[in-house]
Structure formats: structure tokens, C-alpha cells
Amino acid sequence: MDTLLEIVNSVFAYCTNFILNLTEILSVSYYEVNAVLFVILWPVLTIALIVLNIYQRAVLFRNLKKQTC
């Protein structure tokens, strides 16, 4: 369990440092970068992946129907 906790802490530290470095590069605040990442990009990416999944399932089922007929 300690190893898992160390991994989680390392990932958290890396992500936090990444955002802090991004704020320095872009000259914006930590909260603005967080808002862009988690309010805009994350939901857009999630919706895009859901749509892609639905599309791929439709194509798969269409191809399976063609094979059985």
C-alpha cells in the first residue's frame, strides 16, 4: 500500500509542477490553467471519446451484420 501511495504522490507532484510551469510560460494564473484544463478541455475530450466510441460500435455492428447475411 505504501508503494501505491508513493506513486500517487509522485504523479500529483508531477502534474502540479507541470501546471505551475505552464502558468509561468503562459503568464496566467494557476486557477486559469486549471479552469481551461478541467472545465473546457477535459469535458470536450470526454464527449469526443464517447462520440468516437458510439461511431466505432455502429461501424462494427454494421460490418457484423454484413458478414452474417
Residue ranges making up the domain that contains 17:
2-68
C-alpha cell at 49: 471519446
pLDDT of residue 47: 98
Sign of CA dihedral 54, 57, 58, 59: positive
pLDDT of residue 67: 87
**Number of structural domains, the chain?**
1
pLDDT of residue 4: 94
pLDDT of residue 7: 97
41 vs 24: CA distance, rounded Å: 20
* Low pLDDT (below 50) residues in the chain: none
pLDDT of residue 68: 82
pTM: 0.69
pLDDT of residue 66: 86
